[in-house]
Amino acid sequence: MNRIYKITIAVLFLTAINVQAQELQTNISVHDPVIIKQDSLYYIFCTGMGINDWSSKDMVHWKHEKPVFAEAPHWAFNVVPGFDNDIWAPDISYYNGLYYLYYAVSAFGKNTSAIGVATNTTLHTDDPNYKWVDHGKVIQSIPGKNNWNAIDPNLITDDAGKPYLAFGSFWEGLKMVRLQKNRLKVAQSTTSLPTIATRKKVDGQAKNPADNPVDAGDNAIEAAFIFHKNNYYYLFASIDYCCRGINSTYKMIVGRAEKVEGPYVDEAGTPMAQGGGTLLLQGDKNWYGVGHNAVFTDQNTDYLVFHGYDAADGGKPKLRIEKLSWNAAGWPVVASQ
């Protein structure tokens, strides 16, 4: 066997190993994951450069697909000066033949933020029709003007199919805005949006960020996700602090309402808009913090999809998927607990 032939075989062999490794990752690092299924493939979209995209046949072995945006959406530079295409907390849904991907652009620690939306007819990257069409900004928050933060979007529809967007982080807490039927623009004034959840107690323990419009305050709540099951809308949220590695204290809470606009209350009957929220899952010796969840149903089984800060890997954020069950009173319970 000549030297050139040997080198060629070695290159092909290493390439095959690399491709196989890409397709067989089981301990993937993600932040703010959301999941959806098209045909026999599961897709995760999560925070990352251009929005990270992973696919899987079994929710165990994952392939890293190309990012949604090879280049940053042009409008984002007008919202966040110097924007580097690091896009946060996407939310994926399907409606009327299109996949809708909401996403956030922001300056960390400020409410210099906006939520955008892109659509696609397919999520299969090998489909000739695969193409994300960006529709630009849906809603924006501006320091000194808005006392809320336009990040962490989640789409939910009411019983009549009317679309709403839940969102928010710190400041006044989690907000909700009604969308137009096409789901691309807001359908109401954003001057005074209702707060659906906050960590501010009735006695006003948390610092009011209105005292300083560029200060997020102590209202550590974000990552709204609303899931409709039986006769209730369940509002999941993450409280305390993400993004600090081994010092992360993220944990998940939940409340529910009979109507999508609320009011959402916890198991004790305390409104989430007054600091309520039933603890669902928190960190332990293996995971420093857990949060920013989505809920996904596949073949009549509900799953909680989220990231945790792995104690065995220096606090690196990792994908976790746990079965979600429901107790006799209709409240969610993580099956592994």
For residues 140 and 197, give the distance between their C-alpha atoms in angstroms, rounded to a whole number: 19
Contact 193, 179 (CB under 8 A): no
User: Quick check: is 222 catalytic?
Assistant: yes
Cβ neighbours, 10 Å, residue 313:
12
For residues 64 and 60, give the distance between their C-alpha atoms in angstroms, rounded to a whole number: 13
Element (H, E) at 44: strand 41-46
Element (H, E) at 8: helix 3-23
Instruction: Indicate the burial class of 105 (C-beta count within 10 angstroms; 0-12, 13-18, 19 or more).
Output: buried
Q: Check 65, 152, 222, 310 and give the catalytic one.
A: 222
Contact 148, 111 (CB under 8 A): yes
Residue 25 is given by DSSP the state: B
Please confirm whether the linkage preceding 81 is cis (ω < 30° from 0): no
| b/e map 192-201, b = 16+ CB within 10 Å | ebebbbbbbe
Instruction: Indicate the burial class of 278 (C-beta count within 10 angstroms; 0-12, 13-18, 19 or more).
Output: middle
For residues 224 and 195, give the distance between their C-alpha atoms in angstroms, rounded to a whole number: 12
User: Quick check: is 32 catalytic?
Assistant: yes
Residues shown for the chain: 337
Cα angle 151-115-124, degrees, rounded to a multiple of 5: 105
Show which residues are catalytic. 32, 222
